Amino acid sequence: MQRMTLSIKDGLTEEELYLFNTGSSYHSYRFMGAHLKKQDGVEGVRFAVWAPHAASVSVVGDFNGWNGGEHVMSPFGNTGVHHLFIPHLREGELYKYELRTRKGETLVKSDPYAFYSERRPGTASIVADVLDYDWDDGVWQEHKASSPPYSSPLLIYEVHAGSWKIKGKEYFYTYEELAAELVPYAAEMGYTHIELMPLAEHPLDQSWGYQITGFYSPTSRYGTPRQLKKLVESCHRHNIGVILDWVPGHFCKDSHGLRLFDGEPLFESKVPGLAELPLWGTTAFDFSILEVVSFLISNAVFWMDVYHIDGLRVDAVANMLNLHMDKPQHLLTYNKLGGKENMDALAFLKKLNETVFHYYPNTLMLAEDSSAWPAVTSPTYLGGLGFNFKWNMGWMNDSLRYMELEPDQRPHHHHLITFSLCYAFSENYVLPLSHDEVVHGKRSLLNKMPGTYEEKFHQLRLFYGYWISHPGKKLLFMGGEWGQFDEWKDGDQLDWMVLQYKSHTSMREYVSALNSAYRNTPSLWERDAEPEGFEWVDVHNAEHAIISFIRRGLSSSSLVVANFSRRACTNYRVGVPETGIYRTVLNSDDSVFGGCCEDGLESFVSEDIPWHGRDQSICLNLPPFTFILLTI
């Protein structure tokens, strides 16, 4: 094989661009976009943009009166990349690319690789140096490197930065202010991770960040790139990991963005059936274009490299894999075998995960996937997609449907609360109670619960106990920890004022205690992905809407009993795995949490009374809507 000659132009090399053109550049942000450079002893900015169909490309900005004739870029061979060094430019300069199309049209576009952007409604890119930062999170990085996520507690607090707390309408907390308030709060509550809904630049607040124009640009709504690094650093110094919602499936159609970037389809397919996503009003990435693969995989690596993000929750995996999902008949397309599977997206996701884990072995790669696609969390060398966790949407749908039933109807739908164990170990799961379940008329988790006001709190505590003890890692959307009563309002802050009421403060105390119990009870997380980590005690008691099961760790076990009925069950006998004293770790009916039990932490000595197929048993009193966690 002939060795490639290295030709340097403004810091770009043939080798780098060869990798970019062949879908194998995983750090393309290091040479694409706007970079502060020194050339021939003069400081300035080197620009590089991929626009293979453009007749010409210029850099425009305040520095040249937005005149496209001033700074025309040069093409780099046949790579499709245009480049230019402009002396004396500094950090903070506003700029865009002016492109002349083959049809003679003039387009003005933001930089796909912009590291910072004007606050909406402005759409200019901003020169920013984000590659230079003196991180102070070495202790966290060492901890992460020695803590495989499968056998560690994972308790995620999902946050929308624009509505956790605000100072006024569209007067947001900065990243640094969130570091000062959000991070200590999450640490005090006992969460292991904060998941931030998409932070890449987006024009519309109501999209929550899922319709993006600047994939490399943290939104300026909340401050500067440096302030975002301060937020991540603060999380790490509080022993909290950071997960970012990441959206590689599509982009919005705003004229300054990626759509028809150089006058022709570039990031998207030329085939309307592949490009159009009418349900969302967005455009899908074309994963068969190798430069798009470089762009997206580099973006995933960018967030981990530049911002020290600890994981990505990959949005809408099912939509990426299914060519027909949410599309009308006239937009249906098929793969070369006549099927509806998007083979290019499949290859992309495998390559994405292989690359991420090559550079960052203990990163969290979570698939938000509502499909039944097999082996999502299996390694690619075994035919899987290569994620290490998948959201368990089936558990979420069934369990919430069950909890919304009137209690006297639950015995007739017992399978909704037990069926998930038929497949709980087919993937490595996260049990999500996310923002999607508390918006658009779905009601808050508290308000989904039937019955009186007091019963709603009893049942939510019960449900949280079932959630925390069920196999799988955990995710809870902000406000759920203290029983937000109204559904989420993205244009306002959470209803913090309800914490003046005892019922809500007691709920927060309960969730804090539940989080602590989870983290301090290894049997609840050590063997999440192993069938040996779970064993039913009583799965068939539909009549009384009671379930009981054992969670087994590497060296300890727990017993869980949950009464989903409105009726108390006195002297309820339950079989136990071994002889000994069973100590109550948590009782959701404890009076300190708003319940009626004055001795919520009592212990029980096993008796030589066979029950549930076991030699030993204990006898409990189960108030209505009660969850009890015991350890031996």
User: Which residues have a catalytic role annotated?
Assistant: 315, 368
- Beta strands in 180-240, from DSSP E residues, in sequence order: 193-196, 200-201, 214-218
Closest CA to 475 of 419, 507, 436: 436
Place of tokens 């076990």: 557
Q: Tokens standing for 49?
A: 């943009």
Residues 6+ positions from 136 with CB-CB distance below 8 Å: 233, 237
How far, in Å, are 28, 83, 105 from residue 13 at the CA level? 12, 11, 30
Q: Tokens standing for 6?
A: 């290295």
Q: Tokens standing for 19?
A: 């990798």
How far, in Å, are 140, 258, 292, 354, 407 from residue 344 at the CA level? 36, 20, 11, 15, 47
Residue pair 57/73 in contact (Cβ under 8 Å)? The answer is: yes
Beta-sheet pairing, 81-87 with 74-75: antiparallel
What is the DSSP code string of 458-523?
HHHHHHHHHHHHSSSEEEEETTGGGT--SPP-TTS---GGGGGSHHHHHHHHHHHHHHHHHHT-GG
Residues 6+ positions from 328 with CB-CB distance below 8 Å: 278
C-alpha–C-alpha distance, residues 526 and 149, integer Å: 10
Q: How far is CA 582 from the centre of its chain?
A: 37
Closest CA to 151 of 449, 527, 490, 428: 527
